[in-house]
Amino acid sequence: MAPPAALLALSFCLSVSDGSILVPLRLFSGNFNFSSAVGLVALRQVALTADGSGLSLASDPTGTVNFLDMVNNLKGDSGRGYYIELSIGTPGQKMNILVDTGSSNFAVAAAPHPFITHFFNTALSSSYQYTGQGVAVRYTQGNWNGELGMDLVSIPEGPNGTFPINIAAILSSEGFFLPDINWQGILGLAYPLLARPDPSVTPFFDSLVQQLGIPDIFSLQMCGAGLSASSTVDAAGGSLIMGGTESTLYTGPVWYTPIVEEWYYQVEVLKLEVGNQNLELDCKEYNTDKAIVDSGTTLLRLPVNVFNALVTAITRSSLIQEFSSGFWDGTKLACWMKGETPWRFFPKLSLYLRATNSSQSFRLTILPQLYIQQITDVDGTLDCFRFGVSSSVNGLVIGATVMEGFYVVFDRAQRRLGFALSNCAVSAGLPLSEIAGPFSAADVASNCSGGVRNEPVLWVISYALIAVCALVLIVLLLLLVVPCRRRNSFGEITDESSLVRHRIK
């Protein structure tokens, strides 16, 4: 059994031709108590039709989709993951599936495992079709192997109907399923470029958009903020709204930032502040080599230089002196006497994202309750907390630490992500997050984004290299020297360039 404070970190190493893409999944295994009330307005039916700009319209009282039916369709928390119930096969077999915006495969356990209660038995489904192709996913710690297939899937608290969906049936695994989780598979909601074994495997949400004709938009509310680790209650943990947004889940306006590249949900971070103090770093450091929004990552992960600057700034502004370095690097917990919460000692953290109007930005702010996270108690006398931020050698990841403060709109139709104040990010009647803007973006470089790593660009680079190589080859042949070798035409997204590395803590 993993210790209560252990932090699971899995990195999907996914083969593409001769290169590889590594997809992060980061979970903390623990038990939390959750309670919140979501105010509901009168029931309304929504026919999901497009208005030309990608927005959903409530135009038909007999429509087949009701957004309010999707409210509270997620369970779990940031530590163990947020999951949704799906019914797979004929007759339907109900499975809990982890919601992950940092990968693109729909994969489900198809064989027994000691850490899961049940699995999808393909032999009992009359509609399951094996495609004849295998799939293997490796992790920094662990792996799984399986087969690609297709079967009918329905979503009890989602759009009505049953849909043929690509499925990766997990037949063997190591280090993927852990003790104390209550899900049996993973629902990747990112773009086809990350799908394994290649982008021809249509991801789950793309299939829904194609088959239902709904707008290419989904939105996510994760309600794990302020959970107590002392309870085993697994209450509703949030909402996944497919096809649009549900106004009862957020307050105020939705602020949008462009999606820089369509593989992960890559965005552009302009600056970070601790309290009201700018870290004063070159904005490119925030985006090296990418900045993504990923529901499958527990913490806010920052490039090493940014992380070090953040810790220095927090230490300087914190009311706590001589604070253990082990707390910052995730190797130690900080404990206080029960009821003596430490949040008043720490400053707010703010991230600025470029707005869709590129000359402007907006600010996401999280209070200490979101990044100084209570995870366990000791002997009923101490409450222990972890630091909800960690360092990363391969990119900035806006994970659950930040996402739990906001209602996040994945507006793929207009290639933008939206953020609004989540109405469940509240503790003792006070909001745990803030959003403000617009601010001028003139004080940062015109382009802060990191390296672009999509295949079309790699094709252009590869052809240029081939052309150069051909010229050199001609010269070398004339000189009777061994000809040059060209590189792979897809280039290579290597372990060092794309992996958001994680450690078990």
Q: How far apart are CA 113 and CA 119, in angstroms?
A: 8
Active site (annotated) includes residue 100: yes
Q: How far apart are CA 386 and CA 171, in angstroms?
A: 35
Would you tell me how many other CB atoms lie within 10 Å of the CB of residue 330? 18
- Active-site position among 151, 294, 383, 411: 294
Q: How far apart are CA 229 and CA 385, in angstroms?
A: 10
∠ CA(437), CA(275), CA(410), 5° rounding? 45
Give, in order, the Cα–Cα distances in Å from 409 to each of 242, 254, 435, 477.
10, 8, 15, 56
- Active-site position among 69, 77, 100, 206: 100
Amino acid code (one letter) for 63: G
Q: In sequence order, which residues have a C-beta less than 8 Å from that of residue 447 and are 6 or more positions away?
A: none
> 342-379 burial by CB neighbour count: b if 16+ within 10 A, else e?
bbebbbbbbbbbbbeeeeebbbbbbbbbbbbbbbbbee
Three-state DSSP state, 193: helix
Q: How far apart are CA 319 and CA 130, in angstroms?
A: 60
Active site (annotated) includes residue 198: no
Q: How far apart are CA 459 and CA 465, in angstroms?
A: 10
Catalytically active residues are: 100, 294
